[in-house]
């Protein structure tokens, strides 16, 4: 062990504390889980030797060998070299002094959570997700969202293994049946870990592996609450089951949510691909009611280390941190870096912190970062007022109220004790049964779960329920499993209903027409308001997100141990459910990556990502520019290269490939020289924007910059000529040298330079949005358009 500096002050500090405070436990109390990361393994040690080495590092900072052993949480042995252990801050900084230590990360599991929107719904918290009621799409459920031709060519993904890091799985879901599947691929090296309510028979030829990781979680929070989750890979939350079935669920006929509504075929992206489940997310103590989940960094790293060794081809991670962590502080980024070394594709959710700029997580260049957009399916719930006026809301509640019933505003039906500002909220026990019995009640969004408002109306004897938006939510409504006949309205419609009630005080009536599922009524896809935005704070020279995919109101399998509304008052059991978030869009892309892997088994993870990105679409189904939640033209900071286009992605023509060495070189330029000890950084470093990425980001451009790229010909014909074209950001020019690329064979590489120049700074400054200008360039032959977005800020 070589010390960076000889410095034992930290140890002395702890010892002196000990002499002041007589209890040995006092020093222990300051211990927290840390991850000590050494980069990769050199490959010359057995697992036992690795463990011994990790122990010796711990022994060097701990009092006794027993203490060292007891402090170890995980020893990462496969591709990630490091360990997780309980350390005092002093011991952590002591280890960080060592030359061979790349980083020491304080594991902060509270900051990692699944990327669904649902958990934001608790009392008073802002309901940040937005949804335009007129729109949605069938990329997800009614048919497979994948092109039939692609599925066929890929054998529906039958030889590909998709790893899911999440809250586990509900193995009985029809989506995970192994009926008719071929034997498990011979490359599989993983296990089926048994545990509570999960026996080896719960794995099959579909769910070929299952493991769970709890050690880090329990170091932070103490023993798992036995009533709040299964001590096994079984999913009590629903999120993991949902995500797994989106990526690789079977095609299930006649799937429906909530008693027959939204019936259709549910299918994952790669319906015959195999699933390997790694449960890393557990219910956060104290948040049982909202079913908040926490995923420990050390647990996720252990899962990724195992997944890579088990032989997964694609990993889908719908988890992120609200804090934007730098690469060496971020367990997902580190794990994904080692996955890249083994050519495993990693797709991650971008996060749900939009529409605020610079909120994007999972931003590393070796991760495929996925934003969320709509589908083009809508579930219309029409309200007919007594005056004949029809108002169209949305619902997925399968009940109707064809008869006219009295209509009342909750504010006129609240019990006397309810505070003035909360009378319209339908909070628990706030409505007068006398006043609402047999009526349709209008409640306003704001405080508490929306589903609980409907429950309150039902408790008080109401017959139906209208959920109206307040001004801050505009027209964005959610599809949710309400417990009685319902429709959800935007703000203007809500006002209209209030005005109608006010002018017909005791005579207001309404009926609810039969809900109707419609397709293609609106500009789909559009970007979800909640999807996290660029610019990329952690890696400014890498444009993120990479891609967008469906993430709004997605129907997929669910845990039967989790109520569809995820509120504990709800006791219903469903096998399919709607959920929203970048959590849902990420596995769409993972599923597509699995199919491309099946068709092109030798492609690198960078080539697969390039294929998905350069074939994406920036237009909606009407042929117009994809818009954001407010109707403005969306930018690459929202959708990256655009909306994924499965039908095109297997035949991109050219790919921007990158090897492990290319990423190491990037890290040298980025300022991290010791990511892999076998790699020496050159003296002259290329700019970070020279990483061979399928999009271009030039931060702080002053004058001009030359960006280097290399494309590989993967078109079927071999002989090809590609011509340059594009649209520069306002006030800039973008030129390619050469501007024609000739290829004579498949696999041939051609390099080119893109010269990005500020031509008119005034025009640039006047037309940039939030300090950034966007453009694109593309290489075209007769069949392919290989398109890349460009983002520039001025220095």
Ligand X SMILES: *[C@@H]1O[C@H](CO)[C@@H](O)[C@H](O)[C@H]1NC(C)=O
Contact residues toward ligand X (CB under 6 A) are 225, 227-228, 254, 260, 285, 288, 419, 421-422, 425, 446-447, 475, 492, 504-507, 702-703, 760, 762-763, 766, 795
Least Cβ distance, residue 218 to ligand X (angstroms): 13
Rounded Cα–Cα distance for residues 287 and 666 (Å): 41
Please give the C-alpha separations between residue 612 and each of 201, 244, 546, in angstroms, as whole numbers.
36, 20, 9
Q: 585 phi and psi, to 5 degrees? A: -75, -35
Q: Does residue 620 sit in helix, strand or coil?
A: coil
Q: Which is nearer to ligand X, 419 or 770 (CB)?
A: 419
Least Cβ distance, residue 206 to ligand X (angstroms): 21
Q: Would you call 505 exposed, middle or buried from its count of C-beta atoms within 10 A (0-12, 13-18, 19+)?
A: exposed
CB neighbours (10 Å) of residue 253? 11
Place of tokens 């845990």: 559
Inter-residue contact 406 to 378 (CB < 8 Å): no
Q: Answer yes or no: 583 catalytic.
A: yes
Which has the closest alpha carbon to 651: 457, 469, 783, 761? Answer: 783
Least Cβ distance, residue 503 to ligand X (angstroms): 7
Q: Which is nearer to ligand X, 505 or 755 (CB)?
A: 505
Rounded Cα–Cα distance for residues 176 and 446 (Å): 38
Rounded Cα–Cα distance for residues 260 and 238 (Å): 19
Which residues, listed in sequence order, are joined to residue 378 by a DSSP beta bridge? 518
Least Cβ distance, residue 491 to ligand X (angstroms): 7
Query: Can you say how many angstroms the Cα of residue 500 is from the centroid of all Cα atoms in its chain?
Result: 42
Inter-residue contact 401 to 417 (CB < 8 Å): no
Q: Which is nearer to ligand X, 189 or 502 (CB)?
A: 502
Least Cβ distance, residue 643 to ligand X (angstroms): 24
CA terminus-to-terminus distance, the chain: 43
**CA geometry: angle at 521 spanning 136 and 516, to 5°?**
80
Least Cβ distance, residue 757 to ligand X (angstroms): 12
Q: Answer yes or no: 166 catalytic.
A: yes
* Helix or strand (DSSP H, E) at 315: strand 314-317
The residue annotated as part of the active site, out of 71, 119, 583, 641, is: 583
DSSP states of 413-479 as a string?
Answer: SB-TTS-GGGTTS--TT-B-HHHHTTSEEEEESSSS-HHHHHHHHHHTT-SEEEEE--GGGTT----
Strands 72-76 and 654-655: unpaired
Rounded Cα–Cα distance for residues 556 and 578 (Å): 7
Q: Which is nearer to ligand X, 356 or 762 (CB)?
A: 762
Rounded Cα–Cα distance for residues 552 and 158 (Å): 28
Q: Which is nearer to ligand X, 399 or 722 (CB)?
A: 399
Q: Would you call 180 exposed, middle or buried from its count of C-beta atoms within 10 A (0-12, 13-18, 19+)?
A: exposed
Which has the closest alpha carbon to 30: 45, 51, 15, 40? Answer: 15
Rounded Cα–Cα distance for residues 247 and 162 (Å): 8
The string over 651-682, giving b where at least 16 C-beta atoms fall within 10 Å of a residue's C-beta and e elsewhere, is bbbbbbbbebebbbbbbbbbebebbbeebebe
Rounded Cα–Cα distance for residues 554 and 545 (Å): 20
Q: Which is nearer to ligand X, 217 or 603 (CB)?
A: 217
Rounded Cα–Cα distance for residues 616 and 618 (Å): 7
Least Cβ distance, residue 323 to ligand X (angstroms): 25
The residue annotated as part of the active site, out of 54, 239, 539, 600, is: 239
Least Cβ distance, residue 263 to ligand X (angstroms): 7
CB neighbours (10 Å) of residue 626? 24
Least Cβ distance, residue 575 to ligand X (angstroms): 9
Least Cβ distance, residue 380 to ligand X (angstroms): 16
Q: Which is nearer to ligand X, 13 or 763 (CB)?
A: 763
Q: Which is nearer to ligand X, 126 or 507 (CB)?
A: 507
Q: Which is nearer to ligand X, 273 or 385 (CB)?
A: 385
Least Cβ distance, residue 258 to ligand X (angstroms): 11
Least Cβ distance, residue 222 to ligand X (angstroms): 9
Q: Which is nearer to ligand X, 397 or 425 (CB)?
A: 425
CB neighbours (10 Å) of residue 514? 12
Least Cβ distance, residue 292 to ligand X (angstroms): 11
In the 8-state DSSP scheme, what is residue 195?
Answer: B
Q: Which is nearer to ligand X, 77 or 566 (CB)?
A: 566
The string over 191-228, giving b where at least 16 C-beta atoms fall within 10 Å of a residue's C-beta and e elsewhere, is ebbebeebeeebbbbbbbbbbbbbebbebbbeebeeee
Q: Answer yes or no: 242 catalytic.
A: no
**CA geometry: angle at 220 spanning 219 and 225, to 5°?**
85
Helix, strand, coil abundance in the chain, percent, nearest 5: 25, 30, 45
- Per-residue H/E/C for 374-403: CCCEEEEEEEEECCCCEEEEECCCCCCEEE
The residue annotated as part of the active site, out of 159, 166, 305, 628, is: 166
Q: Which residues are catalytic?
A: 166, 239, 583
């Amino acid at each position: 062990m070589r010390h960076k500096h000889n410095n034992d002050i930290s140890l002395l500090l702890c010892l002196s504390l000990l002499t002041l405070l007589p209890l040995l436990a006092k020093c222990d109390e300051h211990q927290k889980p840390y991850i000590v990361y050494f980069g990769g393994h050199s490959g010359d040690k057995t697992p036992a030797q690795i463990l011994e080495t990790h122990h010796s590092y711990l022994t060097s900072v701990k009092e006794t060998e027993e203490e060292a052993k007891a402090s170890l949480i995980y020893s990462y042995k496969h591709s990630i070299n490091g360990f997780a252990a309980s350390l005092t801050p002093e011991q952590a900084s002591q280890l960080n002094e060592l030359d061979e230590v790349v980083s020491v990360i304080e594991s902060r599991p509270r900051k990692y959570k699944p990327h669904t929107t649902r958990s934001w719904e608790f009392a008073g918290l802002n309901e940040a997700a937005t949804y335009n009621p007129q729109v949605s799409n069938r990329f997800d459920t009614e048919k497979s969202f994948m092109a039939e031709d692609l599925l066929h060519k890929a054998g529906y993904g039958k030889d590909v293994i998709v790893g899911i890091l999440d809250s586990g799985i509900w193995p009985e879901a029809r989506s995970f049946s192994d009926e008719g599947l071929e034997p498990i691929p011979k490359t599989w090296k993983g296990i089926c870990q048994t545990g509570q309510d999960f026996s080896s028979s719960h794995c099959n030829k579909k769910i070929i592996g299952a493991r769970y990781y709890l050690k880090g979680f329990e170091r932070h929070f103490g023993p798992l609450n036995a009533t709040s989750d299964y001590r096994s890979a079984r999913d009590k939350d629903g999120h993991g089951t949902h995500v797994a079935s989106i990526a690789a669920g079977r095609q299930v006929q006649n799937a429906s949510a909530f008693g027959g509504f939204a019936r259709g075929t549910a299918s994952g992206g790669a319906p015959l691909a195999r699933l390997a489940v790694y449960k890393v997310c557990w219910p956060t103590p104290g948040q049982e009611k909202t079913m908040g989940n926490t995923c420990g960094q050390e647990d996720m790293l252990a899962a990724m280390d195992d997944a890579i060794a088990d032989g997964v081809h694609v990993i889908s991670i719908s988890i992120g941190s609200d804090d934007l962590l730098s690469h060496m502080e971020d367990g997902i980024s580190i794990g994904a870096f080692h996955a890249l070394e083994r050519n495993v594709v990693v797709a991650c959710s971008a996060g749900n912190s939009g529409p605020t700029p610079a909120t994007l997580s999972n931003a590393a260049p070796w991760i495929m970062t996925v934003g969320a957009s709509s589908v083009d399916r809508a579930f219309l719930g029409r309200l007919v007022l007594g005056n004949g006026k029809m108002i169209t809301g949305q619902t997925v509640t399968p009940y109707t109220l064809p008869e006219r019933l009295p209509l009342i505003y909750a504010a006129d039906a609240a019990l006397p004790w309810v505070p003035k500002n909360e009378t319209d909220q339908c909070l628990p026990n706030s409505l007068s049964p006398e006043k609402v019995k047999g009526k349709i009640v209008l409640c306003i969004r704001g405080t508490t779960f929306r589903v609980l408002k409907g429950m309150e109306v039902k408790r008080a004897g109401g017959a139906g329920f209208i959920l109206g938006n307040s001004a801050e939510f505009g027209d964005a409504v959610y599809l949710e499993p309400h417990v009685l006949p319902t429709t959800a309205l935007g703000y203007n419609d809500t006002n209209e209903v209030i005005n109608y009630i006010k002018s017909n005080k005791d005579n207001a009536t309404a009926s609810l027409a039969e809900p109707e599922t419609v397709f293609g009524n609106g500009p789909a896809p559009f970007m979800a308001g909640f999807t996290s935005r660029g610019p990329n704070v952690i890696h400014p020279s890498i444009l993120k997100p990479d891609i967008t995919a469906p993430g709004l109101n997605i129907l997929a399998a669910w845990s039967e141990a989790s109520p569809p509304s995820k509120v504990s008052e709800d006791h219903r059991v469903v096998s399919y459910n709607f959920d929203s978030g970048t959590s849902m869009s990420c596995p769409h892309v993972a599923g597509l990556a699995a199919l491309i892997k099946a068709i092109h088994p030798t492609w690198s993870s960078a080539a697969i990502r390039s294929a998905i990105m350069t074939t994406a679409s920036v237009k909606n189904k009407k042929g117009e520019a994809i818009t954001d939640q407010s109707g403005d033209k969306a930018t690459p900071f929202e959708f990256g290269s655009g909306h994924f286009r499965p039908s095109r992605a297997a035949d991109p023509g050219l790919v921007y490939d990158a090897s492990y060495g290319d990423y190491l070189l990037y890290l040298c330029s980025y300022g991290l020289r010791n990511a892999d000890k076998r790699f020496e950084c050159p003296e002259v470093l290329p700019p970070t924007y020279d990483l061979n990425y399928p999009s271009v980001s030039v931060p702080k451009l002053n004058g001009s910059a030359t960006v280097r790229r290399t494309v590989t010909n993967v078109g079927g014909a071999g002989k090809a000529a590609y011509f340059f074209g594009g649209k520069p950001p306002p006030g800039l020019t973008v030129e390619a040298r050469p501007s024609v690329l000739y290829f004579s064979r498949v696999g041939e590489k051609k390099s080119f330079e893109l010269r990005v120049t500020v031509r008119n700074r005034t025009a640039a400054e006047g037309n940039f949005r939030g300090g950034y200008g966007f453009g694109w360039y593309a290489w075209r032959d007769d069949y392919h358009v290989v398109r890349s977005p460009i983002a520039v800020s001025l220095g």
